[in-house]
Amino acid sequence: MKTLLMLTKFYPFGTGEAFIESEMPIVADKFDKVIIVACDVDGGITKQRYIPENVKMVRINSKCKAKDLKKAVTYFLKPSNELKDEFTYCKNVKQKLFACYFESKSHRIYESIKEKLDVKALTKDEVTLYSYWLFTTARVGLMLKKNLGEAVRLSITRAHRYDLYNERNSLNYLPMRRMLLDGYDKICPCSDDGTKYLKKGYPEYEQKIMTALLGTIDHGMNKQSDDGVFRVVSCSRMESVKRIDKLIDSLALLDVKGYSIEWTHIGGGLLERELKEKAKRLLKHVSFIFKGNMLNTDVMKLYKMYSFDLFVNVSSSEGLPVSIMEAISFGIPVIATDVGGTSEIVFDSETGYLIPENFTNEQLAEKIEQFVTGKINYTYLRTRTREIWEQRFRAANNYEKLCKNIMQLG
């Protein structure tokens, strides 16, 4: 029996990792059985999304930080051989402690999986091991791979952003890089930028690393607005890296000019209350709507139903944003910061415009104003935006290609 053993953080629970929803039906169709292990699900989450009939789920709850930290101290005082090797790449005690915490959490998840999943039964199958992140899930995957032995025909891990770029971590360090790169057969960043980054940092693993683009499902074009209101939409978690505060500041610069602008933000987070208060304080003429967390299916219905004219992403760090893929699939042009792999999807005068990573509020406001005042050939931009999505980011094409590669490699 051909079995896919897939390790995620949340999916299919809650609203996180929404991009897997586009991939799962295509990938699941290639295997007799799929087992998804959601490794870090908040205990309060009860919402579960649709999954194909041949998919089984294993849920591992999070909120064990105190337990993981306690065990990490033990690991630090009595490190395993793996940790001793890893310590040689650590520059300070904080990085060593982070490596120990990483190991502690990974082992706890692995032990929980063994309690809920008959791993021994899987040794009779032809298993493809698939981690969706080059982080904890990948480390747990290597433990499962060791346990499953020859049953594992192929091991593959994706890499995105937080799990890929060392300098984006507050400690300028990500644990067990060489162990993970050595242990998997293929490492698949979701952008060419990520692939170049890994190959440059770890040239000894160059032959293992290949880009595997994500993709989104076709829901058709949305309608261009015709009522004189210019509608801006953004979609992200409300946290500092997403810099929604700077978007509000930029819209405030346009607020005094009397333009008819409506801004909708999709997503919640730790800064939600603070950002709502800021919007109420600064935006007197620009109307705004905060939608909070939404299921991906509901976001797609919203894009289809409403005439959004512009998508804005001003994050300080990205992999290759699925939120932008979704927007351009509807023909919605984009303004986005030139970070990570964003330049692989946002092309000036084709799918929108890039602004510098360290943009000023004035720069963003000026670029939005060009859209509002019609200084941009908007009809062409919408058409070209949709064409580029069809060429590069259609889910059916990208995930069929991934599956073909998996079958050939295995």
Is the domain of 8 the same as that of 30?
Answer: yes
Asked whether residue 20 falls in the same domain as residue 95, the answer is: yes
What is the rounded CA–CA span in Å between residue 313 and residue 134? Answer: 24
Bigger pLDDT: 406 vs 177: 177
Q: Do 205 and 288 lie in a common domain?
A: no
Helix residue ranges per DSSP H, 118-271: 119-122, 136-148, 177-183, 192-201, 244-255
Mark whether 52 and 146 lie in a shared domain.
yes
Q: Are residues 234 and 364 in the same domain?
A: yes
* 286-291-292-293 Cα dihedral, nearest 10 degrees: -140
User: pLDDT for 207-224, tens place per residue?
Assistant: 999 999 999 999 999 988
The stretch 117-142 carries a mean pLDDT of: 96
Does some domain include residue 46? yes
Instruction: Give the domain CATH number at 144.
Output: 3.40.50.2000
Prediction pTM value? 0.89
Between helix 378-392 and helix 322-329 the angle, nearest 10°, is 120
> Domain for residue 265, yes or no?
yes
The domain tally of the chain equals: 2
Q: What is the largest CA-CA distance in the chain?
A: 68
Distance between CA atoms of 290 and 296, rounded to whole angstroms?
16
> What domain range is 168 assigned to?
2-215+395-409
Q: What is the DSSP string of 136-151?
A: HHHHHHHHHHHHHGGG
Both 285 and 308 in one domain: the answer is yes
Q: Rounded mean pLDDT of 83-112? A: 97
Tokens linked to 187: 């490492």
Q: Partners of 48 in the beta sheet?
A: 13
Compute the average pLDDT of residues 35-49: 91
pLDDT band of 135, cuts 50, 70, 90: very high
Number of CB atoms found within 10 A of residue 373's CB:
11
Same structural domain, 14 and 63: yes
Asked if residue 167 is part of any domain, the answer here is yes
* Contact yes or no for 297/264 (Cβ under 8 A): no
What three-state secondary structure class fits 93?
Answer: helix
